[in-house]
Structure 1
Amino acid sequence: MQASVDCLDGIRVVDLSRHRAGSTAALLLAELGADVVKLRLVQDCDRSLSPVLSALRDRSKAIVDIDLDDEHQRRTLHEFMQGAAVVIQDRTPAEMSALGLDQASLCSGRDDVVFATIGSWPASHPLCDRPVDDTLVLAEAGLLDEQEPVARDGPAYLNFPLGSAHASYLCAIGIIARLVRMRQTGTGGTVATSLVQGAMLPMMLYWSRAAKPTAALSAGMPKQTPQPMYRCGDGKWMHVMGNPAKAEAVRVMLAQMGEDNVRAANDLHAGTRPRVYPNIGAFTEIFATRPRDFWLNALWAADVPVQPVLATGELFLDEQTRSNGHVQTVHCAEYGAVLQAAVPITLSPPVRIARRSDRVTASASPRPSVKHPLPASTTHGQRPLSGLKAIDFGCYLAGPLAAMLLADLGADVIKVEAIGGEPLRPAEWAFNACQRGKRNIAIDLSHPGATAVLKRLVGDADVVHHNQRIPTARKLGIDQETLLKLNPRLVYSHVSAYGPEGPRKDWPGYDQLFQAASGWEQEASGDATQPTWLRFGMMDHLAALASLLATIAALYTRQQSGEGQAVAASLLGASLFTVETAVAADGSLLPYPKLDAGQMGISAANRLYRCADGWVAVALEGVHAPAQVLAASQCEHVAQLEARLQALSTEAAIALFRTAGIPCVRVALANRDAYFDAPANKAAGLLASYPHPVYETYEQIGAFWDFGDLTLALDRAPPVLAQHTSEVLLELGFSTEEIDTLVAQGVVALPAKQVVNK
C-alpha cells in the first residue's frame, strides 16, 4: 500500500531566500508536503521578489516577517532555526555573513540540518559575491553571446531566467538527496549550487573540448543555424520538428515546385547559414500558402511534431494542460483567484498546493528516521546516491539527462541502447551532453532472447528511467505494468512530451515545440516580427530535472514504505511552470516584464549596453531601479544613456555604474575556451575531464552541486556504443559462453574493435 501522507510530511523548511531560485526550490519542497516557513526580512526592502513572483513562488508557504534589527524578532528567527530540518538561502556569502545568516551563525553545533545555498557562482569561486542575478551571471559566463539576436549583432538579453530555473530544481533535488542520506546516517550537511551551474547544464550541448575530436563532435549547431519556424498564410507562426514532407499536402507541393525551385528557395531563405534542417526555404514558401490551422492538422495527422507559436498565457487554457493538472486555481490576497502553473510532476502521494496559516510556531521538525545507520567512518567522502542502480532506456535528451544526473550523484547507471545506436548518437555534440557517468550495453529489445537479459537488469534495479512513447515501451516490454510486476520496489520514471493523460499523451515532442507553445518564442524576440527559439534547449533540461525530482522523491518515500511506484514528468508541464505570470479571473494576465524590440533588456536597470570596445550588462533590483540608473548617468531616458555609453570603454562604463552602487559587468564574448582555461573554474569544480576511447581526453562542464563531505561521480566519459556489454552481462551472472551466444544471435552487441583495443 502506498504511503498516505505527503512525501516530505513533517519536514520543516526555513526559506530565507529573496530571489526566484531559492523561492522556487522551497516551493517545490512545499508542494511535496514539506512544512515551509518563509522568513521575509524587512532588510530586503524592495529588493525581493516582485508581487507577482511572490504570488507564484511563495504560495504553499507560511509567511513570517522578520526585522533583524529587532532583538526579539532575531530570537524568533533562531527559534525557527532550532525547529528546522532544512534551510534554504540564495544570497552571496558576504551577504549571509553580514546579516548573520551563514551556516556557522544559524546552525552552530548542529549536524542534523540540511543547509542549502544557491549563489551566483560557487562559494569557492572569486566571483562568488557577485549579485545573485541571472543577467549578470550569464553575461560574465559568456552565455548571452550564445544567442543570436534577430536583427543586430552582439549578444542578446535573455528574459528567460536560465540560471535560476535550473538551479531551483538542482537545489530541491540536492536537498532530498541529503534527506535520503540522512535516513542512513542520521546527519545532515550542505547542499550548494549556483546560477552559473544551473545555466551551464544546458550549455553542455555546445561547450566541450576533445584532444582528438571527430567531425561529428566538432559540427555542433552554430548559433546562426536557421530554425524550422514558419509563418503561415494567415501571418501566424508554427515550429516544426521532424520531416514535414511526411504530410501528403506538403509532399504534393514539394513535387509541384520541382527540384530546381526547391533548391532556389533553400538558397534564398537560408543563404550561407548552416543548414541543419533540410529544405527550410522550400517549406517557408509552402507554409506561406495556407492558414496555420490547416498545416497544424495536416502535420499532426502525419505524426509530425509541431506546435503553434502562442502568446504567453494561451497554454494555460489548453485541453492537454488541464487533463494533466498542470494548472490550478490559487487564491491570492493581492490578485484573487488566479490560474497558476502547478509543480510539473506526477507521483504518489501527489504534489498539491498547500494552504498554510501565517500563525505558525517555531516547533521542532521531526528528523527523517534512521533505518540502517552507517558508521561515520564509512560515509565521509561517499556519494549522495552510492549503492543505487538505475537503468536508462531513454534516447534524445530529456530522458537520458535525468539518468546522467543520477550518475553524477553516484548511482550506478546502465544505459541500454539499441544495437544500431540511438537516434541522437550521430550528433555527438548533443549525445554527449546527457550521457557521462553511465555504462553502456547494446541490446535489441525487440529480440525474443532479450527477455532474459531484461529480467536480470531490472530485477535488482532501484530506478528505471526513459522517455520512449508509451506504445513503444509496451512493444519493447519496458512499460510500467511489466516492470513493476517484475520488481515491485522499482521507481519507474517516465518523461513524455505532453504528460501521461489527455488526447495527446502519446504524441511526439521536442524542446522547440514547448518553447513555442508556452509563449517563450514570442517573448524572447521582444517586439520583433518573428519568434526566437532560445538555443539552450531548456524545456528538455527542465523536464529532465522535474523527472529527477520526482524520482528522488519516490526513492525517499520508498525508504519509509518499502514500495516502488511510477512517477512522471513532461515537457508540457515543465515549460508551463517557467511562465512567470498567471491568468486572472477576467482572463487577463498578471503583469510581467517585457523584452524590448532590440532584445537589449526589460528596463534601463536591466539591460545590455554597447560600449566603444564591447558590451556591459546592468542589473539592479527594485521598483525605483530604472530611475536610479538614469540618475547615476545623468541621463533622462534610455536612448540618451545608450548614446553616452557608446563613447565609453567597458571599463569606464563599469566604473560609472559601480561608483553609484549599480551592479554592472562586462559581457564575455566567444567565451568557451576562456571558460575551460580559467584556473578558478577548475578549482571550483566547474569543469570535468576524463579519458575517452575515441577523443583521448574529453572536457565537459563539471559539477552541478557541492555536497561538502560527499563527492560527485565525474570520472567517467560518455560511453561509446556497447562499451560495457560484456562487463554488465558478467555482473548479471551470464557466463562467457552465454554472452557469445547472445552476440551470435543478435541479442546484444560488443563494441567496435578499435574501442576495445583502446
Structure 2
Amino acid sequence: MSAYKGVRIADFTQGVAGPMACMLLGDFEAEVVKVEPLGGDRLKDHPGYPAWNRNKRIVTLDLSDPSDLEKARDLARAADIAVFDHPPGDLEALGLDAATLREVAPDLIHVWMPPYGTRGRWSRMPPRHSLLAAASGIAFRQGAYGDSPVHMILPLAWYGQAVMGAAAMGAALYERGASGQGQAVTVSGLNGVSEVGGVVMVLDQPRLPRGTPQGGSPSYRLYQCGDGNWFFMATLFMPFYRKAIDALGLGAHWEGLALNPQLALEVLEDIFRSQPRTHWLGLLTEAGVPCAPVGDRTTWFAGEVVRDAGLRLEFDDPVRGRLAMPGPPVRLSATPASVRSLPAPGPLPVWAPNQPLAAGPGASRPLEGVRVLDMGSVIAGALAGAVLANLGAEVIKIESPDGDPFRSDGGPFLTCNRGKRGLGVDLKQPGAKEMFLDLVRQSDVVLDNYRFGVRKRLGVDYEALRQVNPRIISCSVNAYGDAGPRAPLPGFDPLLQAEGGMMAAQGGDAEPVLHTIAVNDVATAGIVAFGILSALNARHQTGEGQEVITSLLAQSLTFQLGEVVTWEGRPPAPKGGVDCLGLSPVHRYYECQDGWLAVAAESLVEAEALLTVLGTPADPADALSAPPEGPLAGRLADILAGRTRDGVLDALEAAGVPCIPCVRGYEAYEDSWLAENGVFVAWKHPRLGEAVGVRSYADFDRTPGGFRHPVPDAGEHTREVLADFGLSAERIEALLGSGAVFEPAAARTHLRDGGAALFIQ
C-alpha cells in the first residue's frame, strides 16, 4: 500500500505548478486523471511535461462544449480532490467553482492554484513566471551587480507553489479523515512565493544589503581558480571557516582576516587564482571544509552521486526514445512512492460517486492535534516545521544549550521558526533522553536534519523512537541522502546549487551566479512537510508510523525537474547571464522614468502588439528569438526610459501584452496588489517588537491555518511545554537542576548573522 492509494484526483491544471502538485500525490499511488483542452496542455511540448504528468491518465475535454463540460463536472464531483488553475472568475462561469461542486459533493476537496493571486488587476495575466517574480519582489531580491531586477531561469515560485499545493492536499485529506468533510483550498502563485522567498521584516531593524551574484561573505562565496573554473566555499559557520583558513596556511592571520571581511576576500581571491580548481578542492576537502565545484545539470544528473541516491529513472518514451527523469524526492519506509508510467491517453473514467464519509468532530485547523518535536535547524529543517505550524500543527522547537547555529534576531531565522514554542534540551545530560522519549510517546512526528549517523549516536533514530511509540513518524533530512560515500558529509544549499548546475544555468556563458533564495533549502522544507503529511495519511489507514527520508541532493533535482529531464536530442534549457534581464527583447525587464516593469510576450500576436504600442518596427518572429541585450532590446530600453511606468502598463495591458510592475524587495511589504491578496500580516515579537511576515502557505475555507505563536527564544517555553506533556512540577525542577533541560537564562547566547546573505531583500 502507498500513502494515497485509493484517492481519486481530477487534475484540470496546465503548465508547471498544478500538474507537479498532482504528480507528487500520484507518485504515492493516487489515481490522477488529467483533463486537457483540445490543443493539449499549454506546455505539452516542454521537456518537463513527461515528468510533471507521470503516473497520469490524460483525457481530452472541450469545456466550451456543454456535453464535455457536464462530463468535467461529473468527474470533479466524483473525485476526492479536484484541482484547477483558472484565473479568477473563470471557474464560476463554468460551474466548476468550489461552492457549485461541493453543493452536490460535500466531501470534495476543491483545490484552486491560480498562477498569480486570487484578486486584483494583475491576477488574470497569462501565466509567466517572470511576471510573478516581478510583482512579488523576488526578482529584485536576487543578488546583482547593478540596480535592476533579475530574470530567474528556474521557475522557483511555481515549483514552490507545486510543493505547497501537494502539502495542502495532504493536509486537507488528513483533516477529512477525521471530520468526513471536504473544503475549498487555495494555493496561489503568491503562496508559492511565500514559501520560497517570504522573509520576516522587523520594523526597527536596518535593511540587509542586496548582495552580489558571487555571495555576500568571503566565507560563503564563489571563487574562480587559476584554470578559470569556479567552486563554492560554504563555510557558513565559524568552525568551518577556521578550518579553511588553517588549510590555506593563513592560521597565523586568523584574527585579522575574521575581523576584516574585505581583506579576507582579497587574500582568498588571490590565493585561489594561483592554482587550478582540482588542487583547491582536494586541499579543502581533505581538511573537512564544505566546498563543491560549479558544474552543469546534465553531468550532475548522469553522475554517480545521483545514481547512488536512486534518483535517476529511465523509461522508453514512444516519441522521445530513452528518457531519464528524477525519481520521487522523498522516501517513506513503509508506503514508498514509485514512478509507474509516463503520461498516457486513456478513456474518461466512470467513477462511482463517493460513499458518504463517517462524520467526525470538525477541526479548527488542518493539522489540529498533530504534535511535532522539531529538532530541525538552519533553513531546511527549521522551515519545514514552520510550514507544519502554519497548517495547524503544534510544533515544539527543541534546541541544545548551544542553540540552533542559525539563531539570530534577523529576518531569515525568524522566517524559519514562526509558529513554534521553544524547549531547551541537552540530550547529552543524564535523564534527558528518558525525558525526550516520554515526549515521543505523546507525539506524532519527530523532525531533524542531523548529519547522517548523528541521530543514531544520540539514540533518537527511528528504530529507537518506534520502540516507545509505534505510531511515531520520524523524518530526517541531510545533505546527500543516506546511501553512497557522501552520505556522512556536511552540506549547505549553495554546494548543491553549484554542483547541481543551478549556478551555471543562471550565469549562462558568463560567471556562475549564486541564487539569493536558498533554493535547495526551501525546496527541502516543502518536501519534508509533504512527506510528513503523506506519512500521516498513511498512518490513518495502517495505524503505524514510519520513517521519512529526504535530502538537499533530492531537491537539487526537484526544483529543476523540468530542466533535468533528458533524452537524446532534447532541446536545450534556457540560460541566463550576469544580471540577466530576460530571454528576449519582448520577454524582459525594462526601466521606465519612475520604476521597472516586466513584459513577457511569448506569441507572435503578443510580440506584435508590444512592438506596435512602443512604435518600434520589427519582425515579431525575430523579436521573440533576438538576444535580450541586442539592438532591438536597446531601442525598446531607450523608448521606455523616457516614459512613465503606469502609462506604459495601461497601454500594454489594453493591447493584450502580458506585463506587470517590478516591485523592489522592501516595497513588497506595502504594495497594494500584494496587500489586496493578503500576502503579508503584521505581528509582534515579544522582545523585538513589530514585524511583518507572510500570512500563509495555503488557505482553507473551513479550517483556516496561520501562525499562532511568534518566534521562540531558545528554551523559552520549557516549563510550559513539559507541563503540557504531563510532567509534574517536581520532575520539571529536577530536570532543570540537572541541566537536562534549560530556560532562556541558562542558554548561551549566540547571536550570529544567521547567514543573512542567503535572504537579502
- TM-score (ref. length: structure 2): 0.88
Partner of 2:547: 566
User: Which residue of 338, 348, 351 maps to 1:352?
Assistant: 338
How far is the alpha carbon of 1:175 from its aligned partner? 0.7
Gaps of 5+ in 1: 269-278
| CA RMSD across the alignment | 2.9
Question: What pairs with 1:256-655 in structure 2 (closer than 5 Å)?
Answer: 267=262, 279-347=264-332, 348-355=334-341, 357-364=344-351, 373-375=359-361, 378-379=362-363, 382-426=364-408, 428-528=410-510, 530-579=511-560, 580-582=562-564, 584-586=566-568, 589-595=570-576, 599-622=580-603, 626=607, 629-630=610-611, 633=614, 634-636=616-618, 637=623, 638-639=632-633, 640-655=635-650
Partner of 2:25: 29
Return closer, same or farther for 1:336/1:714 CA change in 2, 3 Å cut-off. Answer: same
Distance of 1:533 and 1:492 partners within structure 2:
32
Contact 1:441 1:724 in 2 (8 A): yes
How far is the alpha carbon of 1:462 from its aligned partner? 0.4
Partner of 2:725: 732
How far is the alpha carbon of 1:74 from its aligned partner? 2.8
Question: What pairs with 1:673-692 in structure 2 (closer than 5 Å)?
Answer: 674-677=667-670, 681=674, 684-692=677-685
Determine whether 1:228 maps to 2:228. no
Corresponding residue SS for 2:446 = strand
Determine whether 1:141 maps to 2:136. yes
How far is the alpha carbon of 1:108 from its aligned partner? 4.2
Partner of 1:171: 165
How far is the alpha carbon of 1:368 from its aligned partner? 9.1
Distance of 2:84 and 2:587 partners within structure 1:
23
How far is the alpha carbon of 1:40 from its aligned partner? 0.8
Determine whether 1:254 maps to 2:256. no
Contact 2:109 2:185 in 1 (8 A): yes
Residues 446-465 of structure 1: per-residue CA shift (max 9 Å, x gap) = 11220221111111110000
Residues 321-360 of structure 1: per-residue CA shift (max 9 Å, x gap) = 1122212113334322111122211113221112265223
Corresponding residue SS for 2:48 = helix
Corresponding residue SS for 2:435 = helix
Contact 2:156 2:559 in 1 (8 A): no
Distance of 1:52 and 1:622 partners within structure 2:
19
Distance of 2:556 and 2:75 partners within structure 1:
34
Corresponding residue SS for 1:594 = coil
Corresponding residue SS for 1:52 = coil
Return closer, same or farther for 1:34/1:681 CA change in 2, 3 Å cut-off. Answer: same
Corresponding residue SS for 1:173 = helix
Residues 128-171 of structure 1: per-residue CA shift (max 9 Å, x gap) = 33444322122122221112334x33211112212101111111
Partner of 1:271: none
Distance of 1:692 and 1:487 partners within structure 2:
35
Return closer, same or farther for 1:30/1:209 CA change in 2, 3 Å cut-off. Answer: same
Determine whether 1:12 maps to 2:8. yes
Gaps of 5+ in 2: 624-631, 749-761
Residues 165-204 of structure 1: per-residue CA shift (max 9 Å, x gap) = 1111111111111111111122211111111221122333
Contact 1:11 1:366 in 2 (8 A): no
Contact 1:497 1:572 in 2 (8 A): yes
Partner of 1:68: 63
Return closer, same or farther for 1:635/1:308 CA change in 2, 3 Å cut-off. Answer: farther
How far is the alpha carbon of 1:627 from its aligned partner? 5.6
Partner of 2:84: 89
Residues 612-646 of structure 1: per-residue CA shift (max 9 Å, x gap) = 33221012344775566445543324333333323
Corresponding residue SS for 1:474 = helix
Distance of 1:209 and 1:263 partners within structure 2:
27
Question: Aligned letter for 1:495?
Answer: V
User: Which residue of 176, 186, 193 maps to 2:180?
Assistant: 186
Return closer, same or farther for 1:623/1:419 CA change in 2, 3 Å cut-off. Answer: farther
How far is the alpha carbon of 1:92 from its aligned partner? 1.1
Corresponding residue SS for 1:470 = coil
Contact 1:208 1:701 in 2 (8 A): no
How far is the alpha carbon of 1:24 from its aligned partner? 0.9
How far is the alpha carbon of 1:443 from its aligned partner? 1.0
Determine whether 1:123 maps to 2:118. yes
Question: Aligned letter for 2:338?
Answer: R
Distance of 1:350 and 1:411 partners within structure 2:
24
Residues 486-526 of structure 1: per-residue CA shift (max 9 Å, x gap) = 21110111111111221111211111111112211112123
Question: Aligned letter for 2:307?
Answer: R
Corresponding residue SS for 2:18 = helix
Determine whether 1:238 maps to 2:201. no
How far is the alpha carbon of 1:477 from its aligned partner? 2.0
Corresponding residue SS for 1:313 = helix
Question: Aligned letter for 1:462?
Answer: D
- TM-score (ref. length: structure 1): 0.89
Partner of 1:40: 36
Contact 1:340 1:581 in 2 (8 A): no
Number of matched pairs: 723
Determine whether 1:694 maps to 2:723. no
Contact 2:73 2:95 in 1 (8 A): no
Contact 2:224 2:269 in 1 (8 A): yes
Distance of 1:366 and 1:747 partners within structure 2:
55
Corresponding residue SS for 2:113 = strand
Contact 1:85 1:366 in 2 (8 A): no
Residues 671-693 of structure 1: per-residue CA shift (max 9 Å, x gap) = 42x43345765564422333322
Corresponding residue SS for 2:598 = strand
Return closer, same or farther for 1:46/1:192 CA change in 2, 3 Å cut-off. Answer: closer
What percentage of aligned pairs have identical amino acids? 28
Contact 1:19 1:90 in 2 (8 A): no
Corresponding residue SS for 1:559 = helix
Corresponding residue SS for 2:597 = strand
Residues 376-420 of structure 1: per-residue CA shift (max 9 Å, x gap) = xx44xx000101111011111111111111111111111111123
Return closer, same or farther for 1:367/1:541 CA change in 2, 3 Å cut-off. Answer: farther
Distance of 1:610 and 1:219 partners within structure 2:
23
Return closer, same or farther for 1:641/1:167 CA change in 2, 3 Å cut-off. Answer: same
Contact 2:519 2:559 in 1 (8 A): no
Partner of 1:209: 202
Contact 1:439 1:723 in 2 (8 A): yes
Corresponding residue SS for 1:392 = strand
